[in-house]
Every structure is written in C-alpha cells, then in structure tokens.
Amino acid sequence: MRKGIAVSPGVTIGTAYCIHEVFVDPGRGLLESHEVAGEIAKFENARKRSIQDLRALQQKVEQQVGKEAAAIFAVHESILHDATLVGKVHAWIQDEHLSCQAALAQLLEYYRGLLDRSRDDYLRERLADIRDVVERLTSFLSAALRKDSGALSGPTIVVADELLPSQVVMLGDKPVHGIVTQAGSQTSHAAIIARSRGIPAVSGVAGILRQTKTGDTVIVDGREGHVIVNPDSEVLTAYRKLEREFTDLRDQLAHNRDQPAITRDGQRLELLANINGVADAQSATAMGASGVGLYRTEYLYLAHASVPGEEEQLAIYRDVIASSPNRSATIRTLDIGGDKTVPFLGRAQQEANPFMGWRSIRLSFEHPNFFLTQIRAILRAAAPLPDSEPKHVQMLFPMVTNLEELRRLRAIVRRAQQQLQAEDKPYGKVAFGMMLEVPAAAVMIDQLLGSVDFVSIGSNDLVQYLMAADRDNPKVSHLCQPLAPAVIRVLESVVTACNRVHRPVTLCGEMAGQPQAFVILLGMGLRRFSMSPAFIPTVKELAAHVTVAMAENLLAKAKQQKTTRKIRSMLNAELLAIAPNLKPILMQ
C-alpha cells in the first residue's frame, strides 16, 4: 500500500498504464528487422510535420503577440534540425530496434542526465525546450498509439509523474477509471481532470512509477489516499465490495439531476459547474447543475497546437454557452502562469516564484492586443442570436490584487466594446467580475466591491497564498488545507462583506465540492457553489439533509477548534451522522 493525497473520491480497480514524459506503446516490444525502415520514416514524417507546425505557429504568434514571444519557436525548430539529436533517434531505432516513442523517451532521459545537473540556468532551460519539442513530435505519433495500444482496453489506471493537459488529449477516449500521480496536489491538473470526469484519483505518491509497471493490477482509494499495487485475493475482494458501493451510490445520486438544490429547511442554492470545455458543459447539464460557474479558458490554449484567433475562440465560446445548463456561463479570461504555461507567452523567462509572479491578468496586461482578442470573442459570444434562448454570460478576471487593476480592466472592456461597435459586430451584455484569490484583495474586499458586478472566490490559490505554501509541493502540501482556521476566518469575512452590499458571491475553488467544506460555507451565508460536475449530485444530496441552522452550528463548532485536524475530524463525524448514506464517497 502506498499513501498519497486524496484528490478525487471513490474506489476503483484496474490495470496500470504507466506514462512517463513520452507516451510509449506499452504493448510494443522491440521492432522486427523489417519494421525498422518504416519506423524511421514515421519519425521523419513527425519531424517534418513538427517543423511545418512550428513555422506556422511562429508566424501566427508574431502577428498576435510579437516577435520576441515568437522567437521561442525558431529555437524549437533549430532543435529539430540538430544533426546530433536526429542521429541519436535514428541510431536507437536502427541499432536497438526501439519504436519512435521509446527512442524519444530515451532521448529525453539522455538530455536530462546531461543538462539537469547543470548549475547553468541557460543549459537547464534548453532541457525544457527539448522536452517541448519531444512532446510536439509525440503528438503526431499519438494517433497510431491510440489505434494500436491494446493495453488500454478495459478499466485503466493511469500512473504518471504528473498529468498534463496535452497528455490527457493524447489519451483520447480510453476507459480511464483512476489516476495516480507522483507529483501534484488537490488542485493539480490531474486532480482537476479526475474530478471533472468523476473518477477516483490520488496524487503525491512518491516513487509510484518505480514501483509499478504497465499491466499491474492497481487499487485506487480516492477517499483515503491509498494506492495498492498487485493486491492479494483477500484485499482485492474487500476493495471490490467498496468499489461496488461507490458505483451504486454514484448511480443512485445521478437520479437527483432534475431535483432543485434545496436545503432541508427550504433554502434554495445554486450548484454550478467548473468546466474546461464543451464536453464538461454537457456533463454539467447531465449532473443537474444550474449553470457554469467557471469556464477555464486556459485549457483551450494549453491543448491548442497554435494561438486560437478571435473567430476560433468565438465559435468555441458559443458552443460552450449553448451546451451550458440554462445557457448560463461565467467565462474566466486566460489564467496562464504558475503551473500552466504556453511557450508563446514567455515561458522562456524563468521565475523563482512563478505562482506569485508574471501570470494571469498580469501577463494579459503585458500583451494587450492578445488579451483584447479574447475579450472581444467573449463579448461577441454573449450576443443574442435570432430565435435562440436567452443567454446569461459573465466575464471573470483572475488574480485581481487592487482597485487600479479593476479600473484598467474596465477600460480594456470598454475599448473592446467600442471597437466592436465601430466594426458593426454585435456583442452582448456581460457582467464584470473578479476572482478573489490574492489575500490583499480579501483584506480590502469592501473597497473593491463597488467596481465589480460579482465576486468568485478562487479558493485553490487563495489557500496557498494565505498559507505561504506551494500547493504542488508535496513537502508543504499539508499546509494547503481549505479547512485551516485561518482560511475559514478569511472566507467568512469575504462572504459577509459581499452579502452586506448584496453583491453575488460564488466559491469556485475545489473546496466547493468537498462535503465538509460545503456545510461550513453554507453556515457562512454562501448560497452559490461551483464545482466539478461529478460532485453536484453528492452536494445536492447532502444539502437535502442539512438546515441552515445546522450549518451555522457546525461553523461555530469549527471556529472553536484550534487545528485543521480537529476541524476535519469533527466535521467527518457530524456528516456521517447527518447523511450516513454518503459514507462510501465522503473524503476523509
């Protein structure tokens, strides 16, 4: 048994599929002699397509962002022309009979060994460039992998160091039943993806890739944070029972999709969905959400081969709005930086503290034309269409720190509206909101509320900034707890301030879908919660067992506790007594 961080609840059993940084076909042995020439041709075709892709991308980024930002793609193209690099891949295919994917994996290991130990920042940066190039090559080889890999038939447990958006795209529609990662936390990409799909996941399991191989039987317990590799028959039988209980309860709760979200004493709630795209919006409707509380547009950029233009963004935003429950969607502008980077927006300059550096609206301000393109696309997507149902669209700006930034954002939105009006392009009325995730903004919330139409609390970042602990660093992840006494105190002050002036406030961090946190937030006076679609049935069921008075009482009890551990222990006991039928999926 391995212990990690429980990031998505439930229990599942399946066959391990180990992902390193490059997708290697797990069912593929060494090449036969007659296959070598074809494999080299496959690599050369991927290299040619990558070069073409990079040239087109460089031109597009240069037009939309600038020459300096586009220069990174010239560096990547030069790597693809490097005779030493290409020669090594050819040699490994020719002499060792490795597949393209295996040769690329070996290439990455070779350069990591060469450069990773270097104290020279420039050389270490070259490793990141080589990794980007290898991932691009692999993307052109992934179609064949998806077609040929029989190892991914049946329930699959993906085991990886870290699961990136590009890797998720490459998994396609494979039957992924669980995710285990060495790195990451409750708010990592892997965690967000797992929760959006409603599958159990555990992160922060040190050394799991060394201890697991593709084909192993793996149990994932996303409630307790346990991972068991190749269990004996007795353990397997016990967990099969838990898996059935989890699946039965999940199926049972799915039937409440058409019921209103209402507490036991009749208080109506809004249960909204956090989404990454159209598929998640459709899932939100299927799970009974009343709207989309957070559309993370950065996943459009992260999984995109180039820079999405205005018309392309417009089409995608329209599809998301049309697919959202009640055609209601809050669209967050690009939240790149920290753990999410794209090369064309300056990944070349490394930062000691990227989470507190050049990211989110700070980065958008530096690329005003690029930023303006997204705002224009959102405004146009909000325009009513003939003979269509009404839309309710909100625009949300991440990582707002002070009043000056809000005024600057307002000016950019006005500029976009003036441009569209001058071009005679229809646009819709869009509410203007700030994401509250910087402690300074929480402290000054009363002075910021007059400049926004609504507030969305981004608890993922707020918690890590408040606790001065990187949420993706396993060494300090124990500090990033949404039920920490300091977090509860800050959240209550923000919710109270918003309610005092009747400014709509939503919590759209991952804690909104955690049952223990939900009742505490309800007790604070919060009535709008946005979460991964898969969590909506559970929270709706829990709400039906709780009164507002009960929630206020639990908040008062929590505030009397001095440690996070005691708060969580108290809430676990209370929730099991209030809603014992939810025991199979309550996170511990």
Looking at the structure of the chain, the number of domains it has is 3
Same domain for 355 and 221, yes or no, is no
Same domain for 204 and 292, yes or no, is no
**For residue 127, what is the domain's CATH number?**
1.10.274.10
Answer yes or no: is 496 within a domain: yes
Q: How many C-beta neighbours within 10 Å does residue 67 have?
A: 11
* Residue where one domain finishes, among candidates 106, 127, 148: 148
Answer yes or no: is 28 within a domain: no
Same domain for 44 and 15, yes or no, is no
Q: How many C-beta neighbours within 10 Å does residue 392 have?
A: 18
**For residue 326, what is the domain's CATH number?**
3.20.20.60
Same domain for 198 and 133, yes or no, is no
User: Could you give the CA distance from residue 533 to residue 280 in angstroms, rounded to a whole number?
Assistant: 7
Answer yes or no: is 285 within a domain: yes
Q: Phi and psi of 10, rounded to 5°?
A: 120, 170
**Which residue segment(s) compose the domain that 233 sits in?**
2-21+151-250
The string of pLDDT tens digits covering residues 458-472 is: 998 999 999 998 876
**For residue 213, what is the domain's CATH number?**
3.50.30.10
Q: How many C-beta neighbours within 10 Å does residue 498 have?
A: 23
Contact of 194 with 173, CB cutoff 8 Å:
no
- Reference 587, options 511, 486, 490; nearest CA is 511
Question: Interior CA angle at 90 toward 88 and 92, to 5°?
Answer: 70
* Residue where one domain finishes, among candidates 226, 250, 274: 250
Distances (CA, A) of 416 to 127, 422, 477: 39, 10, 40
Answer yes or no: is 180 within a domain: yes
Same domain for 346 and 450, yes or no, is yes
The reported pLDDT for the residue numbered 120 is: 62
Answer yes or no: is 401 within a domain: yes
Contact of 575 with 545, CB cutoff 8 Å:
no
Q: Is 189 a catalytic residue?
A: yes
Answer yes or no: is 256 within a domain: no
- Reference 184, options 2, 7, 3, 399; nearest CA is 7
User: Could you give the CA distance from residue 200 to residue 12 in angstroms, rounded to a whole number?
Assistant: 7
Q: Which residue has the tokens 């927006």?
A: 345
The reported pLDDT for the residue numbered 325 is: 96
User: Could you give the CA distance from residue 331 to residue 296 in angstroms, rounded to a whole number?
Assistant: 7
Q: Is 508 a catalytic residue?
A: yes
* Residue where one domain finishes, among candidates 227, 250, 273: 250
Same domain for 168 and 217, yes or no, is yes
From 76, 177, 189, 367, active-site residue: 189
Answer yes or no: is 258 within a domain: no
User: Could you give the CA distance from residue 558 to residue 418 in angstroms, rounded to a whole number?
Assistant: 50
Same domain for 428 and 505, yes or no, is yes
- Reference 20, options 127, 123, 138; nearest CA is 138
From 18, 100, 498, 508, active-site residue: 508
Low-confidence ranges of the chain (pLDDT < 50): 144-151, 347-348, 588
Bridge partner residues of 160 (DSSP) = 19, 181
204 φψ region: left (φ > 0), alpha (ψ -120 to 50), beta (else): left
| Helix (H/G/I), strand (E/B), else coil: 9 | coil
Q: Phi and psi of 11, rounded to 5°?
A: -125, 135
pTM: 0.77
User: What DSSP designation does 478 have?
Assistant: G
Q: How many C-beta neighbours within 10 Å does residue 87 have?
A: 10
Same domain for 7 and 65, yes or no, is no
- DSSP string of 360-418, one letter each residue: HHHHHHHSHHHHHHHHHHHHHHTSPPTT----EEEEEESS--SHHHHHHHHHHHHHHHH
Same domain for 568 and 437, yes or no, is yes
Q: Which residue has the tokens 């989309």?
A: 292
The reported pLDDT for the residue numbered 65 is: 67
Distances (CA, A) of 235 to 10, 224, 229, 439: 16, 15, 11, 45
User: Could you give the CA distance from residue 437 to residue 465 in angstroms, rounded to a whole number?
Assistant: 8
Q: Which residue has the tokens 């604070």?
A: 524
Contact of 458 with 509, CB cutoff 8 Å:
yes
Same domain for 200 and 336, yes or no, is no
Same domain for 368 and 449, yes or no, is yes
Answer yes or no: is 26 within a domain: no
Same domain for 386 and 473, yes or no, is yes
